[in-house]
Structure 1
Amino acid sequence: MADDHLSKPFDKSAMTEAEKREMKTEIRNQIVVFVLMLFLTVLAFAAVGADIIPTNFAVPFILILAVVQLLLQLLFFMHMKDKDHTWATVFIITGIFVTVPTIVSLMLLIGIVKY
């Protein structure tokens, strides 16, 4: 029938050699970033669990690691480092401008008003 050619394997890829190299580089970068993010997660758990860092620096330390992981996820896994992601960037920035004041106001409300 008409779909018989779909069951046959391709003789060669439609990708050029440059596209294949670029894809291999992208895959390697994502694996490296994934391993780095796993390391940062283990570092956060180990630092707090083993009391390696001072108690008053624990929360800022974890927040710093969280921001680094957020940036890595945005850049590599959500492809924000690539071109033509203007609308995604606009929505993320808008979300930040809505979320941060909301969290700050709720923290102030809970901190000031004790129920």
Structure 2
Amino acid sequence: MENNSVHRTSVEYRRKKSAKEMRNQFLTFILMIFFTVISFVSVAYNDLFPSNFVAPFILLLAGIQVIFQLYYFMHASHKGHEMPMFFMYSGVFAAFLTILAFLTIVWW
């Protein structure tokens, strides 16, 4: 009797956790579609937005979308993904340093 109760509780817990995760993924998907539409609008209505604003704005929205995809669609926020995330962050840091070095060399 007690084993059946524990199993039922476990199933209910997994069901609630899965529903919450699915809700987060759906909300993230809607936000990414919204960011994409905003990017297209900022390019389409170039008379409303200055041209030196559009490129950094699109890059910012793209960076936000990368973070959303890593954490929600690739499940990087789950336990057990610390080492792959460490390597990804290390790669981003190395790319940042490389770009910074090249920009420094070009400007000086």
User: TM over 0.5, yes or no?
Assistant: yes
2:16 pairs with 1:28: no
User: Which residue number in structure 2 is paired with residue 55 of structure 1?
Assistant: 51
Letter in 2 for 1:75: Y
Cα deviations across residues 12-56 of structure 1 (Å, max 9, x unaligned)? x9x611101111111121111011101101110111111232111
Q: In 1, Cα distance between the equivalents of 2:51 and 2:89?
A: 32
Please provide the CA RMSD for this pair. 2.2
SS in 2 for 1:80: coil
Residue 103 of structure 1 deviates from its aligned partner by 3.2
Return the TM-score normalized by structure 2.
Answer: 0.76
Computing the radius of gyration from Cα coordinates, the structure with the larger value is 1
Q: In 2, Cα distance between the equivalents of 1:23 and 1:75?
A: 15
Structure 2 residue runs without a partner (length 5+): 1-7
Higher helix share: 2
Letter in 1 for 2:45: A
2:70 pairs with 1:64: no
Structure 1 vs Structure 2: percent identity of aligned residues? 36
Q: In 2, Cα distance between the equivalents of 1:44 and 1:107?
A: 26
Q: Number of aligned pairs?
A: 98
User: Where does 1:1-115 land on structure 2 (aligned, <5 Å)?
Assistant: 16-51=11-46, 52-106=48-102
Q: In 2, Cα distance between the equivalents of 1:54 and 1:73?
A: 29
Structure 1 residue runs without a partner (length 5+): 1-12
SS in 2 for 1:94: helix
Letter in 1 for 2:73: F
